[in-house]
Homo-oligomer: A and B are copies of this chain.
Amino acid sequence: MPKVRPPGEAAPCRDGASLSRPGDVDGMVDRPGLKLGLAGWLTGATVVSRGPLMDLQPSSRQRELIARARHLARERFAARADRHDRDAAFPFEDYADLRAEGFLGLCVPERYGGLGADYETYCLVSEQLAQGNASTALTFNMHCLTMLMMGPIADNMAMPPGQRDRHEALRAAKYREVVEDGAFYGQPHSEPVEQGETDTTLAVGGRRFGTTARKVEGGYVVNGRKFFVSLGGAAPYYATPAIRLGDEPWIERTLYLQIPKDAPGVSFPGEWDPMGMRATVSRDMVLDNVFVADDAEVLPPGLFGAMYNAFPHLFLSFSATFLGLMQAAYDDTLAYLTGRMPGAPAPHTEIAAKGPAIAEMLFALEAARALYYRAISEAQVDAPPEAVQRARAAHVTVQRAVVSVTQEAIRVCGGRAFLKRYPFERYARDARAAALMRPWTQELAMQQAWEAALGSGRAER
């Protein structure tokens, strides 16, 4: 998906030897550390090399968005994170900052007034935001995915022309509310196991549709109960999956509906008192004969189910949050041990004893990040099987590494890091959420991975 570009956009030039501009060195000076390399080139040394090579560096546009996100996270979110965690309170101030920065439109296409970040770029931004407050990043994920699903992902799904025209009109209105009015979305995707029709049609597994939509004149009447609804009661809108009552094939009846927070029949009952990710405020959501108009369709009927099957990289976006969380734990560990963290003790004398654990944390982080970056760089509709396998591998690798790195951060810093005056214990509590989130919980992603490996024969070499 990120690899398809419309006419007029920069064409991918990988393998594009014909795009060569002899003597052009622009591509070089943008990189650090090439001093001697450049010197060698300027003195006439010859380097034999063939065309553009592999590259996991972000583009300059991505770097700009990354820097803006990092600034928000460090200068704004981080200082508030402890309070929102203790109170299990939604970070409205963080969202005000996101809006002021134009980031509510991060994944809104540019022609609708957004910043036009694609899936890969979004993930890189999310990784940064999470370093300030992982809960904020995890809720923001719901909003951005909604924007991407309506936009570039839907564009890459098969759709009859008439349906595409209607979708274009509907999303234009929804994007406008985001860009002009500061609207944002939750995604109440989860329903309790003990209720609902557990799907066996979605290849990704484990998505339940106990929430029904009855077609009526001019719209739908929706009934159901969601749980773990991040931004519960805090977002103006919820992009809500429901199954239309009817006899057609299951996938065709999947709906994705915009439900306003204040619509009659919508409530967010109960408490939210979890171990971590407390500022996500992921309460239950009850839909009791909620009427929404036909125009509430976030995706055309049937596309939600089809998209889950065709673009499982969607679920990988969660991991950006946990990658950022891991980085924050690692950075703060270094800051603590070298005396740079406010309130940290003077540099340790036991540093040689602690060193190997630092290397382990770094290696776990770098392995998880490289695999994650590779996986998001391959995200596209109908990705080849080996790319989907790598996505599963990336997701599980991040899920595990974030637990081990955040736990090690406390252990290696020592007793004081156990205290809530430092952020380490919050990192460790937040990290525990990673492997629990459907549809790619650790077990389900692993099961799909080995079934694919053994069923499909030789995996990609």
Contacts and interface: CB of A to CB of B under 8 A. Distances in A.
B49 A58 contact: no
Interface stretch (A186-194, A220-228, A280-288, A386-394): A386-394
A381 B35 CA distance: 9
Count this chain's copies in the assembly: 2
A123 to B, nearest CB: 10
A92 to B, nearest CB: 26
A11 B15 contact: no
A115 to B, nearest CB: 9
A450 B351 CA distance: 10
A397 B367 contact: yes
Contact of A358 (B31, B355, B363, B450): B450
B12 A28 contact: yes
A75 interface: no
Interface stretch (A135-143, A152-160, A258-266, A421-429): A152-160
A333 B4 CA distance: 36
Contacts of A131: 461
A384 B31 CA distance: 10
A360 to B, nearest CB: 8
B374 A374 contact: yes
A70 B458 CA distance: 15
A15 B24 CA distance: 13
A330 interface: yes
Contact of A450 (B48, B356, B377): B356
Contacts of A3: 27-28, 31, 34, 37, 49, 53
A33 to B, nearest CB: 4
B2 A335 contact: no
Interface in A307-353: 310, 327, 330-331, 334-335, 337-338, 340, 351
A251 B429 CA distance: 50
A72 interface: no
Contacts of A32: 384
A9, A117, A159: most-surrounded residue (chain B CB, <10 A): A9
A218 interface: no
A355 B451 contact: yes
Interface in A120-164: 120-121, 128, 131, 151-152, 155-159, 161, 164
A52 B35 CA distance: 24
A50 B40 contact: no
A370 to B, nearest CB: 4
Interface in A1-37: 1-17, 19-28, 30-37
Closest 7 CB pairs of A and B: A12-B27, A355-B450, A48-B109, A45-B155, A370-B371, A366-B393, A13-B13
